[in-house]
Chain A
Amino acid sequence: MSLSITQLAQALRERKTSATELTRQALAAAKNRADLNALITLDETGALAAAERADTALKKSPASALAGIPFAHKDIFCTNGLRTTCASRMLDNFVPPYDATVVDKLAAAQAVAIGKANMDEFAMGSSNENSFYGPVKNPWDTARVPGGSSGGSAALVAAGIVPFATGTDTGGSIRQPAAFCGITGLKPTYGRVSRFGMIAFASSLDTASVLARSAEDCAQVLAAMAGHDGRDATSADRAVDDYLAALAKPLQGLRIGVAREYFGAGIDAGVGAAVQAALKQYEKLGATLVDVSLPNAALAIPAYYVIAPAEASSNLARYDGVRYGYAAKEPKSLEDLYTRTRAEGFGAEVKRRILVGTYALSAGYYDAYYLRAQRVRRLIANDFAEAFKTVDLIAGPTTPTVAFKLGEKNSDPLAMYAEDVNTVAVNLAGLPAISLPAGFSEKLPVGLQLIAPAFEEARLLNAAHQFQLASDWHAHKPEGVA
């Protein structure tokens, strides 16, 4: 299924195919690529029922642009009646009695969810090696990671199983897997998409959005997902821009800031070269490259790895074996119920972050860690604000390396955290950003990241789309994918 959403929608409108047919193809492809381990739950019954409903809707015009399009939800979005695990043993048996807002919205658009995508447990990770259900493989090289935490979502799209998948981005978890898998991943402005029903990791950083094969496809899906939600008090009460209409604007006069801190020592030479070449392409399209600096960039990882675990330690306190989810067997006391449930239910990385976060908030350390990190956060946000006075977008490599091998970094948490060096600052500042395929290094995809000011998703999608009209990196597929 290599057609874009727009092309698929046209084929559906012209009755060249049906929702049921597309869904069957997606289900078959998913089963065929079970080796990728990209799905935790495949929902054949639900998908075919939804496809039937979509086919009915398609007979009445005009149907929504996403009607009948198969996709997958990252298994972090609560789906009513369908198991939602967050890739954790803690929620292995959890069937939510309600739908997330994102789930509601895409269902209302008649898109057809085929199942729940694998991910890093509780969205904590950069390689999708932290899942209770085993790691996800990168379709470009199954000995390598797809990136994380939305690794399953990225693999499904890169392998051509579905044209899009939902994901979440707290420190780079959409952009980084998009870069590793050669697809397009959009992180929206904080508050642009509702978090209601999205299992929380770090509340002031979490965002929900989409991974797809092109910026145009991302625009289609974001249009359906975005908007104010009264059930999320941090949801932005702000009209949704017409992302599709904005795609066509020519790039003449666009000022792209090239942040020198994003091309630091840790960036792989091949990655840097591919990104620089892509930026030259932008110049050809009429953009101007401007040197900018983000002086506090080096503090982003330390700040993130204090704030995110701190918020997570509190958000994950509800997993206690009492009202739902995993519970330790034959607890001898309340304390035993709590401590064993949580020790057995959570994986190692989750526990590590809970401990770090608890420490950062604890008496005597709150000022030195959590409070200090929040103040550094403001410095980082100010850096972006300052830079955006002279440029419209800021560019750099999404990741310092191409996809690394399974097992290569997961014995050293800090090595793993360093993968996020170019992505976390964006979450700290609450800004939107996109990763688009920009070339290859060692035959593996390289992602270019573009960052925009708050609520300028239209500008991002436009810049990415125009690049994708003039290049074909995004059209490359892994070997064996149609």
Chain B
Amino acid sequence: MSNYGAWQPVIGLEIHAQLSTQSKLFSGASTAYGAEPNTHTGPVDIALPGTLPVPNRAALDKAIRFGLAIDARIASHSVFARKNYFYPDLPKGYQISQYELPVVAEGKLAVRLDDGRTIEVAIERAHLEEDAGKSLHEEFHGATGIDLNRAGTPLLEIVSKPVLYSAAEAVAYMRTVHTLVRWLGVCDGNMQEGSFRCDANVSVRPVSSEKLGTRTEIKNVNSFRFVEKAIEYEIERQIRALENGEKIVQETRLYDPARHQTRPMRGKEDANDYRYFPDPDLPPLAVTADDIAAVRATMPELPEARRTRYIDALGLPDIDAAQLCADRATADYFEAVLATLPGEAKLAAETLNTQGAVHPDAKLVANWTLGEVSAALNEAALPIEESRVLAPALAQLLARVREGVISGKIAKDVFAAMWAGEGDADAVIEKRGLKQISDSGALAAAIDAVLAEYPTQLADFRGGNEKLLQFFVGQVMKRTRGQANPQQLNALLREKLK
């Protein structure tokens, strides 16, 4: 299914996810982002003579975690290998990576596409390797400055098979991996900080062909949008070239977001001979069944499973479930509110109900989580973990709405007050006297006052202008500072207008 006529694009992605460990893969230096240059380095990281690598257990555990989440084979025996090349951001003159025997191999990931299809993407391998430092080209005239803070940070390189057939599929896969690594607590996915980077291998071939065309590698495209644009551009560029009778050169290219095009990288070796060999400083990695079981025991419910549960057991629409499950902290928040919400239909968050059930509060909580809470977080630039209204507090507020103590509309004001730190829902409602007016006597009095104030409109209404009902509703609401119980108001008003 190609949009490119006689041509089929074939894409494979190599994703480098920085593992969220405290210290580096082979040294005890800090991995924290944003420090002064070259302050997060130890003798091992600057490759002082005589220094040796000692591997970080947490990095292995995170790799296993990811492997389990993609149903992959965790190798009981794998090897660290040296990838030898010269570049100033690579202090040892080699990168410690994995070559023939990676720790994770042969996994798969279900990816939902925007058009509703789900594809299963085969993942060739995921292996551990160390990151390089950073080259800064702008700081000094005629020189490049090297910051080695990043050198040695653990990476998980996730390599898909070349089974993506459009930019849209590639980006959907990238998003799914992004959500998953954050979900698992394996990587913080912060693309601005470079924690999640993507290289795309792109080639095209005639639709009927089995053989893969020559591919180019687009390096370090670090936003979803740019990945999509870069791949699209590259596909079109290759098709144009082939249709012109040109050959595709196997090369590395960079995406230029200003010009919306890819161009060949200058100064990088096209065909580097990396002379891989097993690192003699590091005996083979052994992973036992016990190691795997220990990691498996700490695995969370995966995003797909949770999304399905929200749809099947809680009756949420797909789009809500998808949004809630884009981020584990959001899903956890949602479930915490739902679990704390008092009332008849409270369900324990983890129990799966019968198919087709509908949790009466699920939609309410989903709306609020994705609505008010989300908006407030965005404005304050906070992640949901730092929400100023915690899940139990929101649950209390929504309980008051359910109980009819306040209307949904008033609840938004109460929420704003809670966010600003004025106290919990009950305190704010009390302090501001926001309790919904359901008392028929009070309502009647307010209605009478309004009708007396607007005789012309009253006559108009009785003369047939039905639209004026909303006018009267609005006026009563104004008079009662929004606290009139809408349903009761409506009923009583209709009575009095007869």
Contact = CB atoms under 8 A, between A and B. Distances in A.
B360 interface: no
A317 B48 CA distance: 12
17 contacts: A199-B50, A200-B49, A230-B54, A231-B52, A233-B52, A314-B277, A316-B93, A317-B86, A320-B88, A320-B93, A322-B91, A322-B146, A324-B46, A324-B48, A361-B275, A362-B275, A366-B275
Given A98-B43, A233-B281, A362-B275, A314 B93 contact: yes
The interface size bin for chain B is 20 to 34
- Most A-side CB within 10 Å, residue of B52, B55, B86, B92: B52
Contacts, number: 96
Interface in B272-303: 273, 275, 277, 280-283
Nearest to A317: B93
Contacts of B277: 310, 314, 361, 366, 370
A232 B277 CA distance: 19
A347 interface: no
B52 A204 contact: no
Interface in B281-333: 281-283
Given A204-B280, A233-B281, A314 B82 contact: yes
Interface of B: 43, 46-55, 82, 84, 86, 88, 91-94, 144, 146, 273, 275, 277, 280-283
A98 B277 CA distance: 29
Interface of A: 77-78, 84, 86, 91, 94, 96-98, 100, 195-200, 202-204, 230-234, 310-311, 314, 316-318, 320, 322-324, 334, 338, 358, 361-363, 366, 370
Contact of A363 (B54, B55, B273): B273
Given A97-B43, A314-B93, A366-B275, A320 B86 contact: yes
B49 to A, nearest CB: 4
- The 3 closest A-B CB pairs, nearest first, are A317-B93, A203-B280, A361-B275
A475 to B, nearest CB: 35
B49 A91 contact: yes
Nearest to A90: B49
Contacts of A366: 275, 277
B60 to A, nearest CB: 13
Contacts of A317: 84, 86, 92-94
A86 B49 contact: yes
A188 B170 CA distance: 55
Contact of B84 (A78, A197, A361): A361
Given A98-B43, A322-B91, A323-B48, 9 more contacts: A78-B50, A199-B50, A230-B54, A233-B283, A234-B280, A314-B275, A318-B47, A323-B46, A324-B48
A338 B86 contact: yes
A345 B55 CA distance: 31
Contacts of B273: 362-363
A96 to B, nearest CB: 7
Secondary structure type dominating chain A contacts = loop
Nearest to B43: A98
**Residue of B50, B55, B280 most packed against chain A (CB within 10 A):** B50
Contacts of B84: 314, 317, 361
Contacts of B275: 314, 358, 361-363, 366
A231 B55 CA distance: 10
Contacts of A200: 49-50, 281
A172 B88 CA distance: 35
A334 B88 contact: yes
A231 B54 contact: yes
B86 A233 contact: no
Given A317-B84, A361-B277, A366-B277, A195 B92 contact: no
A199 B49 contact: yes
Nearest to B87: A334
Contacts of A100: 50
A377 to B, nearest CB: 12
- Greatest chain A CB density within 10 A among B275, B282, B283 is at B275
B50 A233 contact: no
A322 B275 CA distance: 22
A113 to B, nearest CB: 16
A338 B283 CA distance: 30
A467 to B, nearest CB: 35
B117 to A, nearest CB: 41
A204 B52 CA distance: 12
A341 B55 CA distance: 31
Nearest to A78: B50
Contacts of A232: 52, 54
Most buried by B among A97, A198, A200: A200
Nearest to A232: B52
Nearest to A195: B52
A322 B94 CA distance: 15
Contacts of A86: 49
A351 to B, nearest CB: 15
Contacts of B92: 317-318
A358 B272 CA distance: 13
Contact of B280 (A78, A230, A311): A311
A57 B324 CA distance: 68
Q: Which of B43, B49, B280 has the most CB of A within 10 A?
A: B49
A198 B50 contact: yes
B281 A196 contact: no
Nearest to A100: B50
A226 B277 CA distance: 29
B55 A233 contact: yes
Contacts of B55: 233
Contacts of B94: 314, 317
